[in-house]
């Protein structure tokens, strides 16, 4: 019984399809004859379009019957299935052509070149609302393929560019984010991390994930033709890359800001905050010599001389001239006098053409005199200490005890006691209690002046 039902359904399907093709040919013939002003032919054309619409529905119903009979059939022959496949192929092609024709007529109407009725012959979407077919009934869900325009031919290229731009963007995020994660994360760091991460996730999600693509398509469809969606994805990915690239290039300037903030905190005695600022500046720009130097100053004040030496050395390698003097001072404290002398003489060597201001020159001469004194080269020590005193005297508002204290010791070592006492007087009078070296030397000078302690 099921066999006869399937056979009858196939015959009905085949006959309905033949009538459909004949109706399509008749409609095409009449369409070619219709010209402006021929109202009778236009009316006839509308009638044929209505007949064609009914015939499409009849054929769809016939295909439904075939499917129902096919489910009941137990032993279906290969010949029957081959016939069904061929009929489906024929029906699909004709139905898609009709849908495509309806779309073309709609476009012509929008351009003002189509004069006839624009009611589609095939209204599958409206029909589905009434018939409510199952998803398995593919014939109720056919759509005409999008025509491949010149723009669409390069969709693969735009997609490839989107992936390339996003790959570089992810790389930049991976480079930037860790710079703000080390140490205490402040407001600027939090905003930087969250903003770039959100932008990258949104752009990447709109391309790589199904939900992201659906959301993006919904947004784009409201203002942009579908044929340009791939280009829009590439442009948005490129803009993200440019934004992240610009942010990456701005990191050295941000490092300058953190360095200034650190020095301000250092000057106010907020050493913990200063340390965090300096370290953040160096995370943003590892080659920032001034930040290395300032961090070295902080470590020296914290009596972490090994760390201070390392920071001064990096600052010196980065061309920060002031570091000559500070690194040499660390060597003097470590009693590595030859290394200290080498650095200080290099700084003063005219061949090196270093830009040294008076303040730095006097400190270098003072430390070089100190080094020579420790090396028991007293005459050289006296020379460099006098140079430091001369440079200091050019600034009448400056009281500086260190070179006088050291010169007094160098003169004592050369048995010039009277000259030494004069220097001791200046040393004691101008020494700062906030400078540990000057404070110690002042104590020695006081004993010398009182005659309590003789020169050893």
Distances (CA, A) of 371 to 117, 343, 415: 104, 11, 19
Please report the pLDDT score of residue 143 as a whole number: 77
Q: Where are the domains of the chain?
A: 2-140, 154-249, 274-450
Contacts of 28 (CB under 8 A, 6+ apart): none
Tens digit of each residue's pLDDT (9 = 90 or more) over 341-390: 999 999 999 888 888 899 999 999 999 999 999 999 999 999 999 999 99
Residue 356, CB-side half-sphere exposure with 13 Å CA sphere: 24
Answer yes or no: is pLDDT of 103 > 70. Answer: no
Q: Give the span between the Cα atoms of 205 and 182, in whole angstroms.
A: 28
**256-267 pLDDT, tens digit each:** 999 999 999 999
- Does the structure show a pLDDT above 80 at 323? yes
Burial class (CB in 10 A: 0-12, 13-18, 19+), 82: exposed
Provide the 8-state DSSP code for 221: T
Helix (H) or strand (E) run with residue 343 in it: helix 337-348
Most confident of 19-28, 61-70, 291-300, 428-437: 291-300
Beta-carbon contacts of 256 under 8 Å, excluding residues fewer than 6 positions away, are 281, 288
The Cα 449–Cα 322 span in angstroms is 35
Q: Evaluate whether 321 touches 349 at the Cβ level (below 8 Å).
A: no
pTM, entire model: 0.60
- Most confidently modeled range among 59-68, 144-153, 362-371: 362-371
Using the structure block, give the residue that is written with the tokens 């009448």: 396
353 in the Ramachandran plot: left (φ > 0), alpha (ψ -120 to 50) or beta? left
- Domain boundaries 274-450, corresponding CATH code: 1.25.40.10
Work out the widest C-alpha separation in the chain, in whole angstroms. 138
Average pLDDT over all residues of the chain:
82
What the block records as the tokens of 386 is 């006098």
Is-contact 375 340, C-beta < 8 A? Answer: no
State the residue for tokens 């061929």: 86
Tell me whether residue 430 is exposed, middle or buried, using C-beta atoms within 10 angstroms of its C-beta: 0 to 12, 13 to 18, 19 or more. Answer: middle
Tokens representing residue 370 in the block: 């100190």
């Amino acid at each position: 019984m099921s066999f006869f039902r399937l056979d009858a359904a196939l015959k009905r399907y085949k006959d309905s399809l033949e009538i459909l093709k004949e109706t399509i040919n008749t409609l095409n013939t009449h369409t070619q004859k219709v010209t402006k002003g021929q109202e009778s032919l236009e009316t006839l054309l509308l009638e044929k379009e209505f007949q064609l619409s009914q015939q499409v529905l009849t054929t769809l119903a016939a295909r439904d019957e075939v499917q129902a009979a096919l489910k009941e059939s137990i032993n279906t022959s290969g010949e029957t299935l081959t016939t069904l496949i061929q009929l489906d192929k024929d029906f699909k092609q004709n139905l898609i052509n009709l849908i495509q024709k309806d779309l073309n007529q709609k476009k012509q109407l929008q351009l003002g070149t189509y004069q006839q009725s624009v009611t589609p012959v095939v209204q599958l979407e409206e029909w589905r609302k009434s018939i409510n077919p199952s998803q398995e009934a593919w014939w109720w869900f056919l759509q005409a393929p999008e025509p491949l325009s010149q723009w669409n031919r390069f969709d693969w290229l735009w997609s490839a560019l989107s992936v390339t731009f996003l790959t570089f963007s992810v790389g930049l995020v991976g480079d930037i984010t860790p710079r703000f994660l080390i140490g205490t994360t402040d407001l600027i760091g939090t905003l930087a991390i969250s903003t770039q991460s959100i932008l990258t996730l949104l752009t990447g999600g709109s391309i790589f994930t199904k939900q992201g693509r659906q959301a993006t398509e919904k947004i784009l469809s409201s203002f942009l033709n579908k044929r340009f969606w791939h280009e829009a994805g590439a442009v948005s990915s490129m803009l993200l890359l440019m934004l992240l690239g610009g942010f990456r290039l701005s990191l050295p300037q941000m490092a300058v800001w953190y360095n200034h903030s650190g020095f301000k905190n250092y000057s106010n005695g907020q050493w913990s905050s200063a340390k965090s600022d300096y370290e953040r500046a160096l995370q943003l720009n590892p080659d920032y010599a001034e930040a290395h130097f300032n961090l070295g100053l902080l470590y020296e004040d914290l009596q972490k001389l090994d760390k201070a030496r390392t920071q001064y050395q990096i600052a010196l390698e980065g061309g920060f001239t002031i570091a000559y003097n500070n690194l040499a001072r660390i060597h003097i404290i470590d009693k590595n006098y030859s290394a200290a002398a080498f650095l200080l003489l290099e700084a003063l060597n005219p061949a090196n053409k270093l830009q040294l201001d008076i303040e730095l020159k006097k400190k270098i001469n003072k430390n070089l005199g100190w080094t020579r004194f420790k090396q028991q080269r007293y005459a050289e020590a006296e020379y460099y200490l006098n140079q430091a005193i001369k440079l200091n005297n050019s600034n009448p508002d400056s009281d500086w005890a260190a070179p006088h204290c050291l010169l007094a010791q160098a003169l004592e070592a050369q048995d010039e006691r009277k000259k030494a006492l004069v220097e001791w007087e200046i040393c004691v009078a101008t020494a700062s209690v906030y400078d540990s070296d000057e404070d110690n030397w002042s104590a020695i000078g006081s004993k010398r002046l009182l005659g309590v302690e003789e020169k050893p």
